[in-house]
Structure 1
């Protein structure tokens, strides 16, 4: 198990990025949360097995036809043992 804190920069607000992050996390059985920041970036934490988390990071940083990630940062975090789902927070 691994947990990362990730900041996404680019065209990531107003284009469904939080929903995209949540749906991809759910499909890979990952836990965590995602939210918009006041500076136009998106912040998230994701937790799960290492292969699934790496696949998730690859998917969300590629974006889709609406979302464009120009830059991102990743920081390893301590695991949260009682977390059960991936949520959008405000």
Structure 2
């Protein structure tokens, strides 16, 4: 699993040592950069749904985006790699990740700004 608040940097991929590719995993991420007003949240939700992940994503009033992704570890790794790039108009400058508990919902939700 990822260490608490691990700075994933860019463009380094996520590594989850000790977790088998098909083991369930959950990760909480905070994303910084130009990630609001550019379709980042909707794009990430679409990608998470495409990968069959559960969780949620929302904008924060400080300009960051936060999300929880839950599913097979290999798909979490893929989602975080995708989220490091984002859609064409986004510019991710930093991403922090920490392991977390699985979300209560059995779908992927777009939540309102917090």
TM-score by length of 1: 0.94
Looking at structure 2, the residues matched to 6 and 68 of structure 1 have their Cα atoms a distance apart, in angstroms, of 16
C-alpha deviations, 1:48-89, integer Å up to 9, x for none? 000001000001111232111100100101224x53111000
Count of residue pairs brought into register by the alignment: 89
- Given the alignment of the two structures, is residue 52 of structure 1 paired with residue 75 of structure 2, yes or no? yes
Q: What runs of 5+ residues in structure 2 fail to find an aligned partner?
A: 1-23
Q: How does 1:1-90 map to 2 (within 5 A)?
A: 1-80=24-103, 83-90=105-112
User: Structure 1 residue runs of 4+, over 6 Å off?
Assistant: none
Corresponding residue SS for 1:55:
helix
Looking at structure 2, the residues matched to 43 and 53 of structure 1 have their Cα atoms a distance apart, in angstroms, of 15
- Structure number with the higher strand fraction is 1
Corresponding residue SS for 1:6:
strand
CA-atom RMSD, angstroms? 1.0
Corresponding residue SS for 1:52:
helix
- Structure number with the higher helix fraction is 1
TM-score by length of 2: 0.75
